[in-house]
Amino acid sequence: MVSHNIATAPVSWGVWFPDDKQQIPWEKCLDEMEKAGYEGLELGPWGYLPYESNQLRKELDKRNMTLVATTLMDDLTSIENTARMINQLNNMASLQTSFKDAKYVVLIDACYTDLFTGERIRKKELNLEEKEIFFQNIERIQRYAKEMFGLEVVYHPHAQTHVETEEEIDELLKRTNINLCFDTGHHAYMGGDVIKFIETNQDRIKYIHLKNCDPVVLEQTKKHGWSLARAVKEGVMTEPSSGMVDMPKLLDALNEADFTGWIVVEQDMYPAPFDKPYPIAKRTREYLKEIGIG
């Protein structure tokens, strides 16, 4: 059986923003990550965790944890905004490159809807010229990260963005050479076949966000037209042991593909009562061990 590297992320503690009074203090978040049994983590929103390298290293070292990736999420349809994203990448890389295991930058397009209202705030469908700019911007960030810092950018298909469906992911893979951060929960949320997609595209999946999706809440989301944030609040992303993605079969697919990259366990929550995330994180870690992940 293939050995898997398991990490987690602040989003599993209800963290969506750099600073928000509804979010758990970062010290408590790190303490509970360690206590739940995770050895690695994504940085989460830039500014939530300490972003001075010596301070972050000290905090992670005393918890026997390591940084595995950063996240870069914003509007990728704009050339000007892509330049601003590269500036943020410069800031993140000054921290990230001081951690030997932190080789990945997870790149995500900004949502075309307002997270909370569901109102359309950007074009959903891009024309041919706009798609060309979109793909060029992705490759621009990818090249820059590799040439300047030796970091690998992996693209994260995400609900309510310009790469969300299997058809759109296929087009991305054909039009660029970027590899994927494959999010099992978002793929299921958008109606994709998670297991089949892994089997078909295993050579392009280098990094995984592991989560599950509740089919009952998903159906209610569709019926009522809930925003992404409302769906999350209602529990559309659920524990790996429940939901529509068959985790033992997913493990079989990963083993068949000889996948040895990082698996980052996520359960999207926001807002989250401060006593809610830890029991879920602990149960999840124990469940994954039981079925042979990590």
User: Which phi and psi (to 5°) does residue 277 adopt?
Assistant: -65, -40
Over residues 12-29, mean pLDDT: 98
Annotate 247-265 with b (16+ C-beta within 10 A) or e (fewer).
beebbebbeeeebebbbbb
Element (H, E) at 205: strand 205-210
With contact defined as beta carbons under 8 Å apart, do 29 and 13 qualify? Answer: yes
Sequence letter at residue 164: E
Residue entry with tokens 């078909």: 200
Dist. CA 161–CA 183, nearest whole Å: 13
Kindly report whether the peptide bond that precedes residue 271 is cis, defined as omega within 30 degrees of 0: yes
Give which of 192, 122, 129 is closest to 157, Cα–Cα.
192
Residue 43 has pLDDT above 80, yes or no: yes
Q: Model confidence at 253, in pLDDT bands (50, 70, 90)?
A: very high
Cβ(22)–Cβ(273) under 8 Å? no
Report, as an integer, the average pLDDT of 266-285: 97
Q: Who contacts 200 (Cβ-Cβ below 8 Å, separation ≥6)?
A: none
Is 1 a residue whose pLDDT tops 80?
A: no
Instruction: Name the average pLDDT for the chain.
Output: 97
Mean pLDDT of 133-154: 98
pLDDT of 245: 98
Q: Report whether pLDDT(4) > 90.
A: no
Helix (H, G, I), strand (E, B) or coil at 264: strand
pLDDT of the residue at 242: 95
Residue 7 has pLDDT above 90, yes or no: yes
Structure-block tokens of residue 59: 């905090």
Count other C-beta atoms under 10 Å from residue 123's C-beta. 11
Kindly report the number of other CB atoms within 10 A of residue 204's CB atom.
Answer: 16
Mean pLDDT of 9-37: 98
pLDDT in tens, 161-207: 999 999 999 999 999 999 999 999 999 999 999 999 999 999 999 99
Residue 39 pLDDT class (50, 70, 90 cuts) = very high
Query: So what's the pLDDT on residue 34?
Result: 98
- Is this structure's pTM higher than 0.95? yes
204-213: pLDDT as tens digits: 999 999 999 9
Percent of the chain's residues with pLDDT above 70: 100
Predicted confidence (pLDDT) at residue 21 exceeds the cutoff of 70: yes
CA distances (Å), origin 50, targets 19, 125, 134: 12, 37, 31
- The stretch 101-105 carries a mean pLDDT of 97
Residue 211: predicted pLDDT: 98
Question: Token pair for residue 82?
Answer: 């892509």
Domains in the chain with CATH codes: 5-291 (3.20.20.150)
Tokens of 109: 């397009």
